[in-house]
Amino acid sequence: MSPSSPVSDGPQIASHIVRKIVERTLSAASVLRPAAAQQDLAIALRDELPLQRAGLEVVKARVSLQVEQEVATAARKREQARHELELDELDRRQVRARMDFLRDELLKNPSSARLYTLLQPSTRPSGLPSIGNPEELADQIHQWNPESRWILIAKILHTFTDRLSDDKARDLLKILRSAMTALGHGELATEVAAVEARE
């Protein structure tokens, strides 16, 4: 029998075959979960053995896994860092969603903002924030309804002023200021004049 016959090289060939099964099975395993990796490996060996290669039959194999302490420590640190990055990204997404909500919903009208404060946890002993005058809040909610008359008029005026040249927009502000003064709303006319001066 020659030195290179399957019988003499049997242990080496069998070891190579088993090593390939181990490498394939553990390619996605975590060093932080050695028990799970050991179980996956036992299942893989049970499913693939016995098998024949190069005139040999590998009937049974036993493999034990051991993770070095330094490797496990490094893996735990890497896992913790990844977890912290995921938490940071989650925080950023939550902040973006909250900012979008505040911009798109609450800043549109004060009644929504006041209602939102009712949903927030309160540090007061009663457990509920003060809403002030409920009738006033109900009136404000009605007033800021997207279908209320003044909101619809404001949308029309906004569209109209967007289509005006700068000179015509200034003329419109002068007309508005004069109308407010004539109707006895001097303070509002002053506010319009202040806005006009900023333009």
Per-residue pLDDT, 133: 61
Among 40, 20, 21, 44, residue whose Cα is nearest residue 30: 40
Cβ contacts of 54 within 8 Å, gap of 6 or more: 6, 13
Per-residue pLDDT, 143: 66
> Pick the residue with more confidence: 1 or 135?
135
Residue range 31-62, pLDDT digits in tens = 778 778 888 888 887 877 777 776 777 777 77
Angle at 134 between CA 149 and CA 150, to 5 degrees: 10
Task: Say whether 195 sits in a helix, a strand or coil.
Answer: helix
Mean pLDDT of the chain: 76
Question: Is the predicted pLDDT of residue 98 greater than 60, yes or no?
Answer: yes
Split at pLDDT 50, 70, 90, the class of 139 is low
**Integer distance in angstroms from the first to the last C-alpha of the chain?**
103
Cross-strand partners of 52: 57
Contact 60, 82 (CB under 8 A): no
Residue 183 carries which DSSP code? Answer: T
Greatest mean pLDDT among 112-116, 132-136, 175-179 lies in 175-179
Per-residue pLDDT, 93: 92
Strands (DSSP E) contained in the chain are 51-53, 56-58
Six-digit token pair at 65? 């896994």
- The predicted model gives 113-135 an average pLDDT of 56
Question: Is the predicted pLDDT of residue 113 greater than 90, yes or no?
Answer: no
Per-residue pLDDT, 89: 92
